[in-house]
Chain A
């Protein structure tokens, strides 16, 4: 082997090593590591230098893009979490008052019944009874497991207030535990009509109205 051939094979070797380096760094990028950069000897003026610089620039650009993406994703996830929390909040807090028939209001109550919610419900219901000149208001508490005695008492007061406004107040779906509380407290339920479930109450009141309509 003469000296020229030696020099050529050495150069080939160097190019091969450089390509291997580049592949290694690119595979790092493939795995999401944007921190590594290709490095050449300072005195190297071969075309590889500009190729390396190009690759480095590309990796840097990719890295910043990726960072931006992650930031967007975090923001989006944060917003989605907020929306989910608000959805649950709306579900747990709101008590829709529906006019299921002319003059028949229906209030399905689900979730946790605390004192704040029961007082909000009372004012909303009384307002609705007046606004819609309701003949009857059906409050369905099938979805309530537990009520404090004071809250039960407040419910009965609410029923009496509805009565005073000239409409009937019907409680449906009371569970045995709450029924026990009512009896235990010795509450006067003479103003309150109760039905086993919402279906029975709707049948009676809507049925009555349909007959009078005919």
Chain B
């Protein structure tokens, strides 16, 4: 009698082997496809071409990048290493000013990123990017 009841219990057990197979295949799929590579990047804002509000020039610190790779701030050509100090000085004079990097279309993107980086180190939390009008 006891033996028979145990036999019934054996039959009522659910076979989990196919589910296990599926779970393992899913696990292997997700392990293989997961990439933990996170891009490291800097945030920039690109003002849209539609005029939203005309900003007065006095509220803007404009940094020009010329096609020759020179950087111009307030009508002076400065070295890349001087950008940070110059922006700090300009920000001290106008604390609420927005910083706009106006790049010539032929200038290197690497230089552009370095200038934006220097501006961010100088304390500008929002740096905008603009293209020089052709």
Q: Answer yes or no: are A and B bound together in one complex.
A: no
Contacts from B to A (Cβ < 8 Å): none
Contacts from A to B (Cβ < 8 Å): none
